[in-house]
Amino acid sequence: MIVGVPKEIKNHEYRIGLTPAGARELISHGHSVLVQRDGGKAIGLTNELYERAGAEIVDTAEEIFKRAEMIIKVKEPQPVEYAMLREGQLLYTYLHLAPDPAQTEGLIKSGCTAIAYETVTDRKGGLPLLAPMSEVAGRMSIQAGAHALERAQGGSGVLLGGVPGVKPAEVLVIGGGVVGINAARMAMGLNARVTILDRSLDRLKYLDELYGDKITTLYSTIDTIEDLLPITDLVIGAVLIPGAAAPKLVSRKHLSMMRPGSVLVDVAIDQGGCFETSKPTTHQSPTYEVDGIIHYCVANMPGGVARTSTFALTNATLPFAVQLANKGKQAMLDDPHLMNGLNVHKGMITYEAVARDLSYDYVPAAKALTS
């Protein structure tokens, strides 16, 4: 199969869908890999490294989309990209369709077969292709929040760890999954006081067993959130209902309960955000203020540490990429976990939460693939 890797075009997105080592693995299985010129240059993955791995360097995205049978990317296709997709072509990338009707329509119109990293599953019930970027974003969320708390950034001027004689900041992490646990670890490491909320009692039990009295675990309800907001300096939004639009857990009226200059970091923004006042921001202009509260809502946080993130992403995506290149759509029929990644096929929506949130008919993936 011909596999194409275009340069990412989202604002300050320096990740690339495949490392040179990943390209070499695909080529060793008999596939051809096309990489857009300078696609990895910003993070030291030069054209020469890809060529040494056996890949062909191609000048334009147009040529990649034209020649490749499978496109491997990082972020959801932008309008100029989904306009270039076609029926029979595989698209393997993050999609986050539920909050993005325009992209969904674009993919439907293209007729392509679109596999979303964020809904591929594993045997343990996890999301193995989302997890590495959630680890990155969870860890970054505390750095981003700490910076936004600085007075010159509009924050309240609180240092997360405090100092001897001055109390540390209160960090509230809503959602104790992969983002949540990584955020909590970083916040604890900086000596902040950490509370984690979740709706999964199993997850709260796990976190409690792991961290004991270093954190507080609480069941997530509106009451719990309202009790905590007035004493919280930094809130991390880290909830997920796979594939679905994020539930809104902090409303605009809640902002007035918080101390001015407190910070909300909405990591769940790629699924539409879990705070009512969230709107996607970029690395170029990551924060804005609503009612005295600083919001950080960067939808591609891992792009900020693109080198680490690119290696972490390819480590996770490569085994499935090899299966897809080897077997085409049969790879999904052979592996139910990969099939869970299928969101759109030949104009059909094959992921139930996306169909429900955007009011499309739902066609189960197995049926769509065999129709």
Ligand X SMILES: NC(=O)C1=CN([C@@H]2O[C@H](COP(=O)(O)OP(=O)(O)OC[C@H]3O[C@@H](n4cnc5c(N)ncnc54)[C@H](O)[C@@H]3O)[C@@H](O)[C@H]2O)C=CC1
Question: Which CB sits closer to ligand CC(=O)C(=O)O, 8 or 198?
Answer: 8
Give the ranges where the chain is alpha helix by DSSP (H).
20-28, 47-52, 61-67, 79-82, 101-110, 131-148, 178-189, 201-211, 222-228, 252-255, 306-327, 330-334, 336-339, 352-358, 365-370
Q: Is 338 in the site for ligand X (CB under 6 A)?
A: no
Asked whether residue 136 is marked as a ligand-binding residue, the answer is no
In the chain, % helix, strand, coil (3-state, to 5) comes to: 40, 20, 40
List C-alpha distances in Å: 310 to 81, 84, 96, 316. Answer: 20, 24, 19, 10
Shortest Cβ 76–ligand CC(=O)C(=O)O spacing (Å): 8
How many residues are recorded in the chain?
371
- The answer to whether the beta carbons of residues 15 and 303 sit under 8 Å apart is yes
List C-alpha distances in Å: 153 to 137, 145, 266, 294, 301. Answer: 20, 10, 17, 9, 18
213 is catalytic: no
Q: Is 286 in the site for ligand X (CB under 6 A)?
A: no
Residue nearest to ligand CC(=O)C(=O)O (CB): 133
Among 50, 65, 82, 94, binds ligand CC(=O)C(=O)O (CB under 6 A): 94
- The answer to whether the beta carbons of residues 236 and 145 sit under 8 Å apart is yes
Task: Out of 100, 233, 266, 270, pick the active-site residue.
Answer: 270
Asked whether residue 198 is marked as a ligand-binding residue, the answer is yes
Q: Is 300 in the site for ligand CC(=O)C(=O)O (CB under 6 A)?
A: yes
Asked whether residue 203 is marked as a ligand-binding residue, the answer is yes
CA 344 remoteness from chain centre: 18
Task: Out of 31, 96, 295, 345, pick the active-site residue.
Answer: 96
Question: Which CB sits closer to ligand X, 49 or 354?
Answer: 354
96 is catalytic: yes
Among 238, 293, 312, 332, binds ligand X (CB under 6 A): 238
Q: Which of the choices ligand CC(=O)C(=O)O, ligand X, Mg ion, none does residue 158 contact, using the CB cut-off of 5 to 8 A by kind?
A: none
Shortest Cβ 5–ligand CC(=O)C(=O)O spacing (Å): 16
Shortest Cβ 274–ligand X spacing (Å): 8
User: How far apart, in whole angstroms, are the C-alpha atoms of residue 91 and residue 108?
Assistant: 12
Q: Which of 284, 334, 309, 317 is nearest to 3 (CA)?
A: 317
Give catalytic residue positions: 96, 270
Binding site residue list for NAD(+): 134, 198, 203, 220, 239-240, 267-270, 298-301
Q: Which residues contact Mg ion (rule: CB under 5 A)?
A: 76, 96, 100
